[in-house]
Amino acid sequence: MSNPTVYIFQQPRPRKSDGWVPNLEPATKYGKLKFIFDAEDKPHLDPSAALTKAVARLKDFDAEKDYLCWTNFGDPASQWLVIMLLSGRGNNLLRFLYWSRGKGANGMSAENGYYFPVELSIGPIKGHHH
């Protein structure tokens, strides 16, 4: 069995104002990091090309052990495309890493932040009648 992979929706681009990028090191605790989209990709402009790239990058995705991670940087369309793709492949459960800012001496701070797993079941909606 191979080790888990953390699929980051899109590689963060340095912030224009100060060049800051999120520290993804805390996510490595859950697996090796792999970017689905590169920093300069704009999936919303050409969704079909983006989908082709996502299919290739997610060919080894295993919903049983891998995670998806949104860094709050990038094109939000990267999330929609990936979730639709993985859901369309019949994955009824997806695991996400959710960022929580940690408590520091001066209140909430990114320095003490951490990721924690959240499982989302996207199976048939119960109680829905056709």
pLDDT digits (tens, 9 = 90+) for 86-115: 999 999 999 999 998 877 677 666 667 889
pTM of the model: 0.86
Per-residue pLDDT for 130 more than 70? no
Contacts 24+ apart (CB under 8 A), 16-20: none
Q: What percent of the chain has pLDDT over 90?
A: 69
Least confident of 12-21, 35-44, 99-108, 113-122: 99-108
pLDDT band at 22 (very low <50, low <70, confident <90, very high): confident
Give the C-alpha separation, 22 to 7, whole Å: 15
3-class DSSP state of 46: coil
User: How buried is 45 (Cβ within 10 angstroms: 0-12 exposed, 13-18 middle, 19+ buried)?
Assistant: exposed
Per-residue pLDDT for 82 more than 60? yes
Relative orientation angle of helices 77-88 and 47-57, to the nearest 10 degrees: 60
Per-residue pLDDT for 83 more than 90? yes
